[in-house]
Structure 1
Amino acid sequence: MVMVKFLGSLISVDEAVNKATRAFKDLVELRIIEKTVWDALYYVSAEDILALIDQPRYDRSAVDGYAVISSDTTGASPTNPAILRVKGYMSPSSTPEEYVVRNGEAVELATGAPLPLGADAVVMYEDTNRVGDEVEIYKPVPSGANVSRKGEDYRKGEVLVKKNTLLKPWHLSIIASTGINSVKVYEKLRIGVIGTGSELVEPGYKLSSGQIYNSTSVLVKNYVETLGLAKGKYYGVFPDEKEVLREALFKALRENHLVITTGGTGVSDEDVIRDIVDEYGEWVFRGVAMRPGRPTSAAIINDKPVFLLSGYPVAAWTGLEAIVSPTIYSILGLEKPVKPVVQGILARRVPNTVGYRSYIRVTTRIGPGNKVIVEPYMLKGSGILSSLVKTNGYIILYENIEGYEKGSIVDVILY
């Protein structure tokens, strides 16, 4: 067995993110491109996007009903209805000038239809009864009732979407609502993914003695694409041969903004990625005080950022979740999305080693009294993929605690 010894002291998770952010921030430069609102999903806006019009463009009805002069409905009741003459009907495609409402008159409106001139309120269908060309009003309405005011949603010139916003469907919808068809965005972050290890075989091939399937690179490539703002490119799995791995790594560096390698983060003779960094690059940090994922490292090679993750899938996931993801958001000037969190009661004690930040996979369930019960996954190990598949979240044990006792209230970060 080869004894693993880390080069220098392990740094904290927070320090690792800060170091990587400072080292990588000026190395990643994304081009500004133009995308239509149909194609800009999960791109990052490159400028503030301003409203070109007021929305609504005019006062409009918030309900189906009748446009009226509110004073005409004073004192109206089921036993003493206000009776108004209906002049016509307006749809959302009508214009305010189509009708003028005077005392004793009403105009029937669909939801979204403009308020006709002279009217100042809308009575809902539920509070009326149509009798031929007249409508009985059973309930008084104040001025402005059931009316969406001009510019209530937004005003012309208002910032609808700020620069450096990850564009989601609702962002693109509000952009389209003001008449804008295309927006300036940053190109997606290109991330190259390389697997290392002579023992690895790609899925679909037959295993020989001493071989395992390459599952970690699959996890990494797909994880970075779930961020939305990045596009992963897988380059293959390469044996522990320095020159072969160097050529693959340099190709990935040329074609991407950032590269992530899996495996080869130890100090054994076979872990040649370490030698490549030593010869052609510089370390940002080596090893993080977290479990799993202690070998997680970062380097700069050919003026490009490189994250080096464990070859074990769960350790690699922890490196992605705790280090890679927050660093990417930070270097791009974006706020890291807040994941849903639920509080629950811990079903059993969970220990921690002081000085380490531990990420414990858990399953939540509803227990007696509709309380959330948090069950830690009992199988441990950096390669136990079922600890991710059979759970729905994780808890964090921070460096300054020895663990959580059974019955503790804990925060569960959901996947």
Structure 2
Amino acid sequence: MRALKKLISYNEAKQKISEKIREIESVEYVTILHATGRVIAEDTVSKMNVPPFDRASMDGYAVIAEDTFSASHTKPCRLNIIGEVFAGEKKDMYLKRGDAIKIATGAVLPKGADAVVIFEETDVEKNILHVYKPVYPGANVSRKGSDIKDGEVVISKGKILDASKIGALASLGYSEVLVYKKPIVSIIPTGNEIAEVGSILKEGQVYNANTYTIASVIIENGGVPRPYPIIEDNAELLEKNIRKAVEESDFVILTGGSSVGERDMLIDVLTNIANVHFHGVQVKPGKPIIFATVNEKPIFGLPGYPTSCLMNVYAFVLPALRKCARLKEHYPKVINAKLSQRVASTLGRHQFLTVKLSGEYAIPVFKESGAITSMSQADGYIEIPSEVEVVEKDENVEVKLF
């Protein structure tokens, strides 16, 4: 049994990882129907005015505003209704003084008109329009280019496409958009003790949960998981698959074999083929994490125990992936609560303690690093800094939600 040679602090580990992560440069076109959540890779410049014509913004009557200036509730102005226009219609009508044209919201404003008086301010009697309130030029009219002007940058490079931005692209006639590709993340589970989900367990085996928990986090944070078959404890096979994963992905995550037991050979393999930046961090759980790079591509070696593995993913992999994917930094929602019981921590280790919320209390649910329910039954976690030895019952804590 070997020992971890040197543990670095939680903050130092985060800094080392951040310094090595490069933003993805590869781009692709996707349809706007599938662009939600993607990061746009170029400025989107409008090639048209929106709206492309003067149009009514309310149902009512197109008028010449000056004709209504004397209108009042006691003495309405009277105009002749000469026609009607609906949205999507093109009618060659010209409005002259003393006339009005019934118009629907979104319809092209007839030539000669400069305002729309809404239905609620009018009355009609035998094709004669009574207007009870004056309107000013431009009233209830959306002018050509008032929303978006031809040549205007509508969406800047690097923005994340949401519903409103997708709508803007559609309004400009874009059916496709250039976006940054999602980072591909290879997930390589290792160890003779794990079996594929759906197979029959042999004595001494457990199912491979880590691939699926990691894949879920990757999908939620802008990546594309690429799961590998389970690799048995064999250095040659391990090296071969790591090299393959480096070639075909942007990130590589290995689970199991990151510690210093007799069959924990990952550090030896990575030392031979990669630049190892650290092995071991002063955190609990998840101390034996490895971070390395090959050809500037990050490789994470995570513990095989499910809770240690997933906490490492949240603490270290998630921020790195989002940076690579050009997404905003993730800030989990925080709930203030009281700790339901006294908790003793380990001095010198930054602890992530999983908890569930019940009323005003945060109840610890951590059992052990190998228990998946330490995570699945939790609403979030609290962080206990390395210099804190005890958190007392009823002490206020910040719960970071998953």
Worse-matched range after superposition: 347-356 or 191-200: 347-356
In structure 2, C-alpha distance between the alignment counterparts of 1:50 and 1:8, rounded to whole Å: 52
Q: Residues 171-186 of structure 1: matches in 2 within 5 Å?
A: 171-186=165-180
The aligned counterpart of 1:219 is 213
1:163, CA displacement in angstroms? 2.0
* SS of 1:45 mapped into structure 2: coil
1:56, CA displacement in angstroms? 2.0
Pick from 147, 150, 156 the counterpart of residue 156 of structure 1.
150
* SS of 1:185 mapped into structure 2: strand
Letter in 2 for 1:274: I
Q: Residues 188-227 of structure 1: matches in 2 within 5 Å?
A: 188-227=182-221
Q: Structure 1 residues 151, 254: CA separation in 2 closer, same or farther (over 3 Å shift)?
A: same
1:268, CA displacement in angstroms? 0.9
The aligned counterpart of 2:16 is 19
1:364, CA displacement in angstroms? 5.1
1:192, CA displacement in angstroms? 0.8
Gapped runs of 5+ residues in structure 1? 368-372
Q: Structure 1 residues 101, 290: CA separation in 2 closer, same or farther (over 3 Å shift)?
A: farther
Task: Count residues in correspondence.
Answer: 400
Pick from 27, 46, 54 the counterpart of residue 49 of structure 2.
54
1:43, CA displacement in angstroms? 4.0
The aligned counterpart of 1:10 is 8
1:307, CA displacement in angstroms? 1.2
Q: Residues 165-176 of structure 1: matches in 2 within 5 Å?
A: 165-176=159-170
The aligned counterpart of 1:265 is 258
Worse-matched range after superposition: 267-276 or 299-308: 299-308
The aligned counterpart of 2:82 is 87
The aligned counterpart of 2:231 is 238
What TM-score does the superposition give when structure 1 sets the normalisation length? Answer: 0.82
1:226, CA displacement in angstroms? 2.0
Pick from 12, 27, 46 the counterpart of residue 32 of structure 1.
27
In structure 2, C-alpha distance between the alignment counterparts of 1:111 and 1:145, rounded to whole Å: 13
In structure 1, C-alpha distance between the alignment counterparts of 2:40 and 2:125, rounded to whole Å: 54
In structure 2, C-alpha distance between the alignment counterparts of 1:104 and 1:136, rounded to whole Å: 11
Q: Structure 1 residues 328, 92: CA separation in 2 closer, same or farther (over 3 Å shift)?
A: same
* SS of 1:89 mapped into structure 2: strand
1:247, CA displacement in angstroms? 2.0
* SS of 1:22 mapped into structure 2: helix
What TM-score does the superposition give when structure 2 sets the normalisation length? Answer: 0.84
The aligned counterpart of 1:375 is 362
- CA offsets 1:275-318 (integer angstroms, 9 cap, x no match): 11122222122233334333332112365321112222333222
The answer to whether residue 309 in structure 2 is matched with residue 322 in structure 1 is: no
- Please tell me whether the aligned partners of residues 62 and 100 of structure 2 are also in contact (alpha carbons under 8 angstroms): yes
In structure 2, C-alpha distance between the alignment counterparts of 1:69 and 1:404, rounded to whole Å: 76
Gapped runs of 5+ residues in structure 2? none
The structure having more radius of gyration, on CA atoms, is 2
Letter in 2 for 1:227: N
1:103, CA displacement in angstroms? 4.3
Q: Structure 1 residues 119, 220: CA separation in 2 closer, same or farther (over 3 Å shift)?
A: same
The answer to whether residue 348 in structure 2 is matched with residue 348 in structure 1 is: no
In structure 2, C-alpha distance between the alignment counterparts of 1:138 and 1:409, rounded to whole Å: 63
In structure 1, C-alpha distance between the alignment counterparts of 2:289 and 2:200, rounded to whole Å: 30
Q: Structure 1 residues 160, 243: CA separation in 2 closer, same or farther (over 3 Å shift)?
A: same
The answer to whether residue 101 in structure 2 is matched with residue 107 in structure 1 is: yes
In structure 1, C-alpha distance between the alignment counterparts of 2:392 and 2:380, rounded to whole Å: 16
Q: Structure 1 residues 158, 210: CA separation in 2 closer, same or farther (over 3 Å shift)?
A: same
Q: Residues 300-311 of structure 1: matches in 2 within 5 Å?
A: 300-301=293-294, 304-311=297-304
* SS of 1:329 mapped into structure 2: helix
1:55, CA displacement in angstroms? 1.8
